[in-house]
Structure 1
Amino acid sequence: MPRPPKRPHAVWFEPSERPRRPRLSRERIVAAAVELLDAEGESGFSMRRLAARLGSGVMSLYEYVGSREDLLDLTVDHVMGEVRIDGGPEGPWREVLAWQLTQSREVMRHHPWLPGLVATRPVLGPNALARSELFYGTLTRAGLRGPRLIAAVGTLVYYAQGYAAAENAWRAWLRDPADESELRRQAMEYVAERAELYPTLTAQAQLDIDDFEGQFLLGLETILDGIEASLGP
């Protein structure tokens, strides 16, 4: 079978310079890593998937970051920067802390992988340390020192992290509000049918409440009340 004739070709028919992919940078890699974590979670995160997302080779990533764990540290600190430390209240310490923790919950809701990563590594990036400095400084000005200061910081931070993690897990499992309402109704009915065994739960456990934000704020207010009481007169 005769070969088809070749197309006419000359170097002059090609563009003067082939377009090149823009070089990678640590900033581009971190931003793409955040997008991948948002889409797949930590369990679906790998350097190979990230390289494919960036259209590069895996080894090219290691020119900018030392390891997968280093990159996860960078993504955590990058996302921590979404919690603002300027433009908020400058008055009573309770308002400052409530503003910070409300933002933290919102950021952890937007990035569901964040609570787990924050809990498993030292959080020492510049964004994280700047927010910790504000947090510690606010409680110090309120009058806390030493072990009580450390305990107060841990209680508040772990409350926000744990609440956001539980909320994320619940929302990932029950995505349809109608399904959630039906489940809550059935749970209330189940407990009420066993009122003799669980009288307090029947009377007090409001299982139909689905206001995560309102419950978060009320729980935070309760913790802050306890910290304020510990300050004494």
Structure 2
Amino acid sequence: MQDAPKKRRKRPPLSPEGIETAALALINREGLAGFSMRKLGAELGCEAMSLYHYFPSTGHLMDALIDRIARQYLPMPAASLPWRERLRAFCIRWRAVALANPGFFGFLATHRMNTPTALRAIDGVIALIREGTASDEEAARL
């Protein structure tokens, strides 16, 4: 008599969005130092190697998280508002991102953002600050 086949635990299919959501939750709960692809895989019920099908490296995943967060504060506030009000609205959004992502925000605030979405956000902020300052250099420094 043959043994009955083992029942495999059903897990939701992996997707980039699901992986990003789980990664942010893990990072915000345990901090960036407590993050690993192995821990993320365990959280998602899969092997870490399965995640590399969607993100070739941890760096690619971090860039995807930066893009995901950058989309939260894009587009820039309405151009019809005075520049100070738009800057204030942007800062309020940026603070909300910090509060929503305490484990990831330090990385986000200090990491070189070079993804298309993040660069658009940075360009928008520099243009906004440039409206109220004397020079491009000063706007970039701020």
- Post-superposition shift, 1:87? 5.7
* Superposed displacement of residue 74, structure 1: 1.5
2-structure distance, mates of 1:119, 1:55: 30
Match in the other structure for 1:92: 82
- Name the counterpart of 1:76: 66
User: Do 1:30 and 1:74's aligned partners in 2 also have CA atoms closer than 8 Å?
Assistant: yes
1:36 and 2:26 correspond: yes
SS at match of 1:128: helix
Residue type matched to 2:94 in 1? S
Q: How does 1:156-175 map to 2 (within 5 A)?
A: none
Contact 1:38 1:112 in 2 (8 A): yes
With normalisation by structure 2, the TM-score equals 0.80
How far the C-alpha of 1:143 sits from its partner, in A, is 5.3
Give the structure, 1 or 2, with the largest relative contact order (CA under 8 Å, sep 6 or more).
Answer: 2
Q: Which has the larger radius of gyration?
A: 1
Residue 128 of structure 1: aligned partner? 118
* 1:124 shift after superposition: 2.1
Instruction: Please say if residues 38 and 113 of structure 1, whose CA atoms lie closer than 8 Å, have aligned partners that are also in contact.
Output: yes
State the distance in 1 between where 2:132 and 2:76 align.
Answer: 19
| Unaligned runs of at least 5 residues, structure 1 | 1-5, 10-17, 155-233
Structure 1 residues 106-127: Cα deviation after superposition (integer angstroms, max 9, x where no partner): 2101111233212442112233
Aligned AA for 1:124?
N
Q: 1 CA distance for matches of 2:26 and 2:38? A: 11
- TM-score, normalised relative to structure 1: 0.51
Task: Give the superposed CA RMSD.
Answer: 2.7
Amino acid at match of 2:115: G
Identity %: 32
Is the contact between residue 77 and residue 89 of structure 2 (CA under 8 Å) also seen in structure 1? no
For structure 2, list consecutive stretches of 5 or more residues without a partner in the other structure: none
